[in-house]
Structures are given as C-alpha cells and as structure tokens.
Structure 1
Amino acid sequence: MYNNASHSIYANPNVGEIDDDKVHGLYLCRGDVAPKDCQNCIDMASERIQRECPLKKKAIIWYDQCLVRYSDIPNFASKFNVSSYYWIVYNSESFSWMNQVKGISDAMFDNLTPKVTNDLKYAESLDEITPLSLSQKLYGMVQCIPDLSAEDCRACLKGARSVIPKSIPRECRVVHESCHLSYQFKNPDEGRAVAPPPPSPTTGDKYKVYLCLDQY
C-alpha cells in the first residue's frame, strides 16, 4: 500500500488495488522518529489496518510513532474534513492548579501552532515550568499531514485543542485524520519521556487505534 521510503517520515498518496477499485494511501511518522523506527511502525500499522479494515473504502490507524491512512478519494491528503477527534489519556492524574496549568499549556500550543507551517508540518517544544510549587517540564508536539494547507492545518489543530479534557491530565494526545497533538508534564529529572504504546481497541472507547469507513 505504500512505497518503501525508509528515509522519509511521509509518503504522498499512491495507488493500489482493492477488488479492482483504486485506493490511495499514505503514511506519516512523528517528526522526531528515526527512519528505522518509522519503517517498523509503518510495517506494523499497514499489516494491522488491512487485517482490521478489510474491503473498506476508507481507513486510518494511529500509533504513537506513525499513522497509516487510505481512501478511494484522489488527493484526499490535502483535504481537511471537520470529522471526529479522538483523545487518549496516558496519565489521567490532574493538577491542583488546573487554571494555571491550562494557561501554560495553552501558551505552549499558541507558540507551536504558527511554527507548524514548515515543510514537515511538525513542531515541538520542551520547557521547564515553575507555577507556584509545581516544578515540571512540559513537552508539547503538533503535526499535520504535510499536504494540508497552513490554514487547514491551523484549523485542524484548533479542533484538536478543543477536545483536550478539561481536567488537564498530565499526559494526553489528540488524533485526527489530518493532524495530531500531544503534551506531557514530567518531573525535570525525567527529561522527555516517550509515551507508552497505545492500548488495545478493546480497552475502551476513549481510544480508537483504527477507524474503518464504507464498505466496497
């Protein structure tokens, strides 16, 4: 379904065949993922999506390091649809100072969003913060499908921010077919932590590892 571009985090839609109908597919790895890890994630996601979504016109699968998506619509990667966002809470522990923490995370995403208009449509930050007696490092990441326009990328990320739980958990990720974002609050001596692997789709409806739409 995808071309073997092991030194790239992104492959533009290409054409394959499913039951004599054309399907256009893409993959996207997180901007900081090494090529080897990117390739491993794509291999795993491509196998999984074909197993979970047989004979579907549209499908998408998300992992922490990559996503794989296909559709019967040409040039679908450049189109932004206001469809469902899914949020994943890796650590549901919240803060006593939610208003201050929300202000800090909002400021971080306000700063990251204009930077995501680069060619990779990816931006991240890692800052030490000390609101009141809280000493933490805040890691944030935003990313859009590279074919998406800057305007649609900003719109997609705005929608993603709107569904972050109001409780402001310590670690959270929001995914959409055209963009995704995440943040993590960590103790300074932990540095930047790698998010855990996604749970099985049977563990609850707050996380959907794959989405299958329309049967051939």
Structure 2
Amino acid sequence: MTAPLPYQTIAEIFALFEEAEPDPQGELEHVNAYTLLVAVALSAQATDAGVNKATRSLFPVADTPQKMLDLGEEGLIAHIKTVGLYPTKARNIMKMARILVDDFGGEVPSSREALVSLPGVGRKTANVVLNAAFGVPAQAVDTHIFRVANRTGIAPGKDVVAVERAVEDRIPAQYQLRAHHWLILHGRYTCVARKPKCPACLIREHCGYEEKWL
C-alpha cells in the first residue's frame, strides 16, 4: 500500500483526468435507471462487453420491472445465458422486478438502503446506480479502483469500504461525482494489474507508486 498523497497532489491528478476526459461515462449500456440496475447486477464476475452484448436484445423488450415480469424468467435467460452465473442472476432479477413493482411503484429507489435491500444488489451496485442514475457522488469501488487507489496513494485502504471512504474524504468535492469513472478507466486501461503502463501514464509525475520509474 502506497502512502497517502497530499491533498494538493490529488487535486492536480484529478485536474489532469478532467482535462483528458471531461465527461467520463461508465461502459455498461443502459437507457434508464432500471436497465442500469439490471446491467450492473449482470456485470458481477462478467465483463462489461459481455453484458452489453446480452442486454442489446434484452432492454428493447424489458426496460421496466413490469416488462421484465411479463418476459418471465425463461425469457430473460434466453437473453442472458452467455453471461456468467446467469441462473442465479436471472432469479435475482425477477425477484427484484417483483419487489420494485409491488413495493416501489415500478420505480428504482434513490436511496442506498432501499437499493441494497433488493435481491442481488450490494453496496457497489447501489453506488453505481446512485451515481449514474441519480447524480449522487457515491463511490463504487471495484477491483480497478481498489488497485489504483492503493497503488497510487490517492485513497489507500485495507478493504473496499475503507477505500470508498478515503475517496470521499480525500478527493476534492468538485471531482466527486465523476471520480470513480476516472479511476475505473485509469485502472482498466493504464494502471492495469500485472504490468501497469507507467511510461504512458497521465499522472506519472504525481503518482506515489515507487516502481513507476523501473
């Protein structure tokens, strides 16, 4: 774990991220809050590309909880059977749709507590939905963010909750809404797990990773 970077250094890092990519977006395709929720639920232990391939045929016929119920579990499976763990995910999505219709008027709730009460929805999924669908500066810490936060010193922490809190505490408020998008993209394409692409890194001069010059 790299030592925490100074606040000013973190501000300079995110200014560079913003200059390079002013409006970063998540890579999961969706058309509304509900389809985002379904896409994120499907993305567990699966690639965004694989989920997108499945949902391109799913969402045109099931973009609301009621339409998902009308499609039925077997109909859903026909669309998502290429996605890892699809039987469990299909069951959870159908249970989720029923709860959304019965208890939330067919709408996706905008609170973390309500979201994590849904089948198959954990804190990370809830934070993605809060951020992307409702504009809440919630930080969804995945493996990419956890790695980048600890390797660079931007927001070190021993577990995902600690990193989430560190991101919220240490990154300037003006960057909070889009912070997790920048960090995910950086981890996915530059600060990769096995051999980070330090020579081509946008924030190399500010990063605390000791091996960046090797």
* TM-score normalised by length of structure 2: 0.25
Greater fraction strand: 1
Which protein shows a greater Rg? 2
Greater fraction helix: 2
* TM-score normalised by length of structure 1: 0.25
